[in-house]
């Protein structure tokens, strides 16, 4: 896999805003379009080259409004030159039929979950037909997917999309570990996932996301194994330590950049990030 070149520069992905309501304990999560652009700009200056985006309605619930996605994208293209824009097509709080609406705005990438899984309080439902439909829309609009792997079977879901010609044979995959009721954050599970990826998707690029208190440790495991990218941001984790909240997405990106250096690698530029993930 591409990640076995362990001297390659590392893409830092920042997931700026998730689906969890902003409460008193996570005031740094950007919610309005203006806050999202400002927060991403600071994260970009700290070394992030890929921005994973969820948008919110005025009442801060998750939104599928394509205009909001477009507004964030426009701000990022203006203020963060070259940064990879990735829209979420994820499901929390969103109607399945609306999850692909933002793809018409042709972001560089979009997340694509290739199977269903239990989340803390809901079933994250991704039927085979919805997955194929979203992959088809991404292909139609020239949007590169990031395959979200919440379970081993999701790798095989990605392979089925390759075999069906809906995605190319060099997908970018992200292993998500530490979501309550889904895949635990266990180092040996990452090895199992990587071994299976190498077997069925040998040209894939990859990254891993640790949720909550697992963010830093999963990043270390990924860097140890030559990951092409690391993922951070307030969507996944709001704390620097058990006792201290992160002040911003930029602070978390700074910690990721330090981790990259500790592993003897360097942070990718936007052009390097695009080349690494197969984007123009």
- Residue 171 CB, nearest approach to Mg ion (Å): 17
Quote the least distance from Cβ 210 to Mg ion, whole Å.
14
Min. distance of Cβ 54 from Mg ion in angstroms?
6
- What minimum distance in Å lies between the beta carbon of 92 and Mg ion? 8
Measured between alpha carbons, how far is residue 71 from residues 45, 109, 220 in Å? 20, 16, 34
Nearer to Mg ion (CB atom), residue 154 or residue 263:
154
User: In this chain, which residue has its C-beta nearest to Mg ion?
Assistant: 88
Q: Which is nearer to Mg ion, 1 or 177 (CB)?
A: 177
Say if residues 87 and 69 touch (Cβ distance below 8 Å): yes
- Least separation in angstroms between residue 169's CB and Mg ion is 25
Whether residue 114 contacts residue 154, with contact meaning beta carbons closer than 8 Å, is answered with: yes
Residues that bind Mg ion (CB under 5 A): 88, 90
Cβ atoms < 10 Å from Cβ of 251: 18
* Residue 68 contacts residue 33 (beta carbons within 8 Å): yes
Nearer to Mg ion, 90 or 157 (CB): 90
Paired tokens of 130 = 């919805």
d(CA 137, CA 184): 31
From the CB of 93, what's the least distance to Mg ion, in Å? Answer: 12
Instruction: Give the residue with the Cβ less far from Mg ion, 88 or 207.
Output: 88
Nearer to Mg ion, 105 or 263 (CB): 105
Nearer to Mg ion, 111 or 248 (CB): 111
Tokens representing 256? 């990721």
Shortest spacing between CB 18 and Mg ion, in angstroms: 6
Q: What whole-number distance in Å separates Cα of residue 279 and Cα of residue 266? A: 20
Closer residue to Mg ion in complex, CB, 9/115: 115
């Amino acid at each position: 896999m591409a990640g076995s070149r362990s001297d390659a520069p590392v893409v830092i992905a920042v997931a700026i805003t998730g689906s969890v309501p902003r409460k008193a304990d996570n005031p740094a999560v950007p919610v309005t379009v203006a806050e999202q652009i400002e927060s991403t700009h600071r994260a970009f200056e700290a070394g992030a080259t890929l921005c994973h985006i969820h948008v919110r309605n005025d009442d801060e619930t998750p939104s599928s409004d394509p205009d909001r996605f477009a507004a964030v994208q426009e701000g990022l293209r203006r203020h963060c030159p070259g940064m990879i824009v990735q829209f979420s097509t994820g499901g929390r709080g969103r109607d399945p039929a609306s999850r692909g609406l933002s793809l018409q705005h042709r972001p560089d990438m979009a997340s694509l979950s290739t199977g269903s899984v239990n989340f803390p309080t809901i079933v994250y439902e991704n039927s085979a037909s919805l997955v194929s439909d979203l992959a088809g829309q991404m292909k139609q609009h020239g949007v590169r997917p990031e395959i979200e792997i919440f379970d081993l079977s999701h790798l095989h879901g990605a392979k089925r999309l390759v075999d069906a010609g809906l995605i190319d044979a060099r997908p970018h995959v992200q292993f998500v570990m530490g979501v309550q009721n889904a895949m635990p954050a266990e180092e040996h599970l990452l090895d199992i996932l990587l071994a299976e990826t190498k077997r069925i998707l040998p040209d894939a690029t990859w990254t891993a996301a640790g949720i909550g208190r697992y963010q830093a440790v999963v990043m270390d495991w990924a860097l140890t194994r030559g990951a092409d990218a690391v993922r951070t941001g307030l969507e996944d984790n709001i704390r620097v330590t058990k006792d201290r909240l992160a002040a911003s997405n930029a602070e978390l990106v700074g910690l990721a950049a330090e981790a990259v250096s500790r592993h003897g690698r360097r942070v990718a530029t936007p052009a390097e990030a695009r080349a690494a993930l197969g984007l123009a």
